[in-house]
Structure formats: C-alpha cells, structure tokens
C-alpha cells in the first residue's frame, strides 16, 4: 500500500492508503520525491474536470519528479534509481501531434494528475515515454517546477521569440507569472510585471522584474515602457482574468505579441481595434512538447534562473488538507509535497 492525496471532488481533501501501482507493460514505477501543487488542481478539488474523465480515487499532481523504482515488462533504456521528471500528457504516440512531441494535442489525450493518477502520492506508475531524464544540475523540487511552470514559459517565450530587443509585460504574478518574469529576464528582455498583491510584486522584483505595477491602468504606458512604440512588445497574460486579458489586447503595441496562459473560458474581444488594425499576434499556451525538456533544463541551468525561488512552502503528504486550504485562500504561492 502507499499513501496518496485523494480529492473526492466536493472540495474535501483526504489522505488515504491506496494499492501501490504495479507497472504494466511499457510502464515505469516512480518513487515520488517532489510533487508541486498547481492552481489547475482546483478543478480536481471542485470536481470540475478540466481535462478528460475523473479517476475512481482522484489523486492530483502533475508537476512531479522522483526516482525510478521498478520497470514494467518491455521497458528498455531506463534503469532503477534514475532521476526523472514526469511529462503530463499521455497520448497515442502514433498521430501527427504525438510524433512531433506535442502529445497534449493528441485526440486520445489523457493527463497525469487529472484523469490518470497523479504524483501527490508515494508512488506513481507512468508510461516509459513520460519519464524525462532529470538533469543533475536541478534538485527534485526545482525539477518539479521546471515542468509546468518554467517549461510552459520557456516554450511560449521561444514561440514568441522573446529577446533582449523586447519589453515584456507579465500580467498576473502567481507561480506561472513568476516563472514568466524569471524566464523573460533570462531571455534578456526588459521586464514589467503587474499584480494587485504586494508580496507577489516583491517576488517579481526579486526574480528580475525591472518595474512592477498594481494594475495596467497605473501609468504603464507613461513610464517609457513602450520605448516610443505605443505599448509593450510582448504581453504574457497569466491571471486568466477577463479584464486583464482585455487590457493585454488593448495595450500591446502595434505588431506586438500576446500570449494567453491563464485559463478562461469566455472573453468578448474587439477584433478590429485589438487585432486587425494593430496586426497583433495572439497565441495560446499550454505546457511544452516532450522533446523540449532537455532544452528547458539547459536554459535554466546555464542562465542561472532562480527556479527554486518560486517555491513558497514544502510539506509532507499528511498536510494535504492544509496545503489545499492555503491554495484556496491564496495564502501560499507554490507548495511542494515531499512524500
Ligand atoms: Zn500545473
Ligand atoms: Zn496521438
């Protein structure tokens, strides 16, 4: 048996004993060392499934690292004791998207920590494909936040071509926005960050933001941010707040780029004013292709990105109820379970 966090879907949190998974054909059993709590876990907590179908005993956790404990039949190229990070998306591995490494776009997508057992447990069994070698230059907890947080940010900033020529505005400074700030700084950009919460702005300054603001209305366009171009070159919107998304489309400069990272199901836009006549590029962002993880790790290590600084709390699995309570009342930023 093993200890696992189970979220029945009625906002309650339980820690219970579940059978330790037996790795099936092609699977690998991982002994979990670090599993980060993510804002998207709220969907499991509340029973509003974000991706796929509910598990029988929903165990969250999709930002996970650990060591290989046991190999299922047919697995080669991985050894017991290897340090690994977990890739969230499980796909068919035969369609065009899977073959390009964009498994999260597979029509048969399943996701670890949502519709498959997650890492808030002592063990997790995953397909060998989903075991990504963890670089010796990253600790287990740094590796966990290098998946969804820094991995997503590295990937989207590559797609947007963020460089030293850019001013980047990061909107929403939860853990994802914090990772955006540190990644944009490491990409050489001039970085501005917006959040109404003071301690989040403090952290953004610590992570390399050049200036911080309470809201996009508090004089951003007057502060030389635009270098005479009429607005930021790039906006990375991480809050998912409709008004913030609207502001991003309004204040980005002509020919600017906007990435929508924060989840939101509805937004009314003004295509003529916000997109057409400004020639705006708007991209959606979710996670990263499987092949990119080695690039992500090398970037974080070589550019000395302060990855661990976004972690605010470390807890044992037994404190899961407290951890999710802190997530709900926003008294914690990034919590890591250390089973
Ligand atoms: Zn996440
Ligand atoms: Zn596929």
Closest CA to 112 of 93, 87, 95: 87
**121 Cα–ligand 1 center, Å:** 16
Residues 142/307, Cβ–Cβ less than 8 Å:
yes
**288 Cα–ligand 2 center, Å:** 15
Fold match between 2-134+308-337 and 149-284? no
**96 Cα–ligand 1 center, Å:** 25
Residues 98/92, Cβ–Cβ less than 8 Å:
yes
- Answering whether pTM is above 0.85, one says yes
- Residue 11 neighbours by CB distance under 10 Å: 13
Q: Does domain 149-284 have CATH number 3.40.50.720?
A: yes
**286 Cα–ligand 2 center, Å:** 16
CB within 5 A of ion ligand 2: which residues?
Answer: 91-92, 95, 98, 106
Closest CA to 61 of 126, 105, 128, 11: 126
User: What torsion do the CA atoms of 9, 320, 328, 201 make, to the nearest 10 degrees?
Assistant: -140
**63 Cα–ligand 1 center, Å:** 6
CATH of segment(s) 2-134+308-337: 3.90.180.10
Query: What residue ranges do the domains of the chain occupy?
Result: 2-134+308-337, 149-284
How confident is the prediction along the chain (339 residues), in pLDDT tens digits per residue?
A: 999 999 999 999 999 999 999 999 999 999 999 999 999 999 999 988 766 677 789 999 999 999 999 999 999 999 999 999 999 999 999 999 999 999 999 999 999 999 999 999 999 999 999 999 999 999 999 999 999 999 999 999 999 999 999 999 999 999 999 999 999 999 999 999 999 999 999 999 999 999 999 988 765 655 556 567 788 999 999 999 999 999 999 999 999 999 999 999 899 999 999 999 999 999 999 999 999 999 999 999 999 999 999 999 999 999 999 999 999 998 899 999 999
- Hey, what are 298's tokens? 């090398």
């Amino acid at each position: 048996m093993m200890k696992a966090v189970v979220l029945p879907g009625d906002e309650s949190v339980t820690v219970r004993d579940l059978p330790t998974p037996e790795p099936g054909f092609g699977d690998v059993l991982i002994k979990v060392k670090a599993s980060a709590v993510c804002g998207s876990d709220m969907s499991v907590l509340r029973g509003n499934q974000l991706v796929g179908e509910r598990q029988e005993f929903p165990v969250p956790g999709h930002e996970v690292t650990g060591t290989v404990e046991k190999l299922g039949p047919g697995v080669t190229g991985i050894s017991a004791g290897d340090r690994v990070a977990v890739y969230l998306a499980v796909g068919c591995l035969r369609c065009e998207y899977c073959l390009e490494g964009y498994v999260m776009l597979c029509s048969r997508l399943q996701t670890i920590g949502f519709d498959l057992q997650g890492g808030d447990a002592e063990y997790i069994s995953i397909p060998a494909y989903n075991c990504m070698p963890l670089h010796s230059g990253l600790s287990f907890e740094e590796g966990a936040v290098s998946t969804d947080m820094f991995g997503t940010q590295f990937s989207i900033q590559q797609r947007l071509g963020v460089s030293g020529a850019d001013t980047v505005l990061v909107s929403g400074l939860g853990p994802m926005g914090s990772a955006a700030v540190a990644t944009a700084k490491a990409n050489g950009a001039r970085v501005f960050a917006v959040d109404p919460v003071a301690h989040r702005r403090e952290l953004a300054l610590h992570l390399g933001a050049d200036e911080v603001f309470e809201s996009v209305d508090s004089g951003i366009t007057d502060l030389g941010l635009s270098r005479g171009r009429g607005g930021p070159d790039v906006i990375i919107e991480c809050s998912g707040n409709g008004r913030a998304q609207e502001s991003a489309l309004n204040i980005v400069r002509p020919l600017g780029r906007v990435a929508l990272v924060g989840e939101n199901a509805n937004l009314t836009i003004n295509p003529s004013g916000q997109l057409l006549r400004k020639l705006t590029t708007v991209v959606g962002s979710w996670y990263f292709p499987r092949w990119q993880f080695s690039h992500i790790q090398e970037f974080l290590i070589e550019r000395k990105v302060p990855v661990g600084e976004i972690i605010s709390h470390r807890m044992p699995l037994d404190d899961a109820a407290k951890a999710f309570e802190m997530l709900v009342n926003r008294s914690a930023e990034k919590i890591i379970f250390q089973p």
